[in-house]
């Protein structure tokens, strides 16, 4: 005889969707928002760290982003994914921080990420001193190339290449048409590729 199914299955934090948690928050369950923070805090910190490089600033801005999200949650209608909405808040928070201090965002790329971007070209694994030097030079050149991009190109490029977001999500985060997103990413890739071309040819 087959066992009867549990009429009251256990609902875990992991099994709850973002929208379910958002609805709970709106009903006054603050602990549900804590679960959203746990779920997305590392991703929000990662997106902010593309713009701001002081660890303490990143932590402060991550917290500020969640505070803003909590206060604005009543206006979230679920028309887009929660993380897309949250990412837009994080990006705007980072930009406002930089504007307030008249800083221009600097390019940053993790050393592992720097070895693999859109055109699929990867550095070959070779531990010789010459090869290691070339890898370091390429990573530095990539950082500099990203730093020189206009902010609107840089934002779209990083969201696509390093955060792996879809064009639709990027359009929502940057609040611009998807065609504009595609154009910005194409122009950013072209600028980066032209600057890195001589180094890649020597590998």
Average pLDDT over residues 74-84: 85
As a whole number of angstroms, the distance between CA 19 and CA 22 comes to: 5
Q: Is residue 167 one of the residues assigned to a domain?
A: yes
124 and 186 Cβ atoms separated by less than 8 Å: no
% of the chain with per-residue pLDDT over 70: 71
SS3 readout for 138-163? HHHHHHHHHHCCCHHHHHHHHHHHCC
Task: Work out the angle at residue 65's Cα, subtended by the Cα atoms of residues 59 and 67, and round it to the nearest 5 degrees.
Answer: 105
**Same-domain pairing of 41 and 89:** yes
The residue assigned the tokens 């969201």 is 159
Q: Is the dihedral of CA 57, 110, 177, 78 positive or negative?
A: negative
User: Predicted confidence band at 196 (pLDDT cuts at 50, 70, 90)?
Assistant: confident
Q: Is residue 110 one of the residues assigned to a domain?
A: no
Q: Is residue 85 one of the residues assigned to a domain?
A: yes
As a whole number of angstroms, the distance between CA 140 and CA 156 comes to: 20
Query: Helices 178-201 and 129-147, interaxial angle, to 10°?
Result: 150
Express each pLDDT in 9-28 by its tens digit: 444 555 688 999 999 999 98
**Same-domain pairing of 57 and 93:** yes
**Same-domain pairing of 92 and 141:** no
Backbone angles phi, psi at 122, to 5 degrees: -120, 150
Q: Residue 27, SS3?
A: coil
**Same-domain pairing of 136 and 92:** no
As a whole number of angstroms, the distance between CA 109 and CA 154 comes to: 12
Query: Helices 129-147 and 151-161, interaxial angle, to 10°?
Result: 130
Stated pTM of the model: 0.60
> What CATH number corresponds to the domain at position 160?
1.10.10.10
Domain count of the fold of the chain? 2
Average pLDDT over residues 64-91: 89
> What CATH number corresponds to the domain at position 95?
1.10.1740.10
Express each pLDDT in 92-126 by its tens digit: 898 888 888 764 445 444 433 444 444 444 433 44
Span between the terminal Cα atoms of the chain, in Å: 67
* Helix boundaries (H) for 101-147: 129-147
Residue 138, domain extent: 125-201
């Amino acid at each position: 005889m087959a066992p009867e199914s549990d009429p009251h299955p256990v609902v875990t934090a992991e099994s709850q969707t973002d929208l379910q948690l958002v609805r709970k928050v709106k009903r006054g369950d603050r602990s549900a928002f804590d679960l959203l923070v746990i779920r997305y805090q590392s991703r929000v910190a990662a997106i902010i760290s593309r713009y701001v490089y002081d660890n303490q600033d990143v932590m402060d801005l991550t917290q500020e982003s969640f505070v803003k999200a909590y206060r604005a949650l009543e206006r979230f209608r679920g028309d887009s994914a929660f993380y897309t909405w949250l990412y837009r808040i994080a990006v705007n928070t980072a930009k406002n921080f930089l504007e307030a201090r008249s800083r221009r965002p600097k390019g940053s790329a993790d050393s592992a990420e720097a070895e693999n971007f859109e055109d699929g070209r990867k550095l070959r694994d070779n531990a010789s001193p010459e090869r290691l030097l070339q890898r370091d030079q390429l990573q530095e050149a990539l950082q500099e190339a990203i730093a020189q991009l206009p902010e609107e190109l840089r934002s779209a490029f990083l969201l696509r290449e390093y955060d792996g977001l879809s064009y639709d999500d990027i359009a929502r985060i940057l609040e611009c048409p998807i065609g504009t997103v595609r154009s910005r990413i194409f122009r950013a890739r072209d600028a980066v590729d032209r600057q890195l071309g001589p180094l890649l040819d020597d590998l």
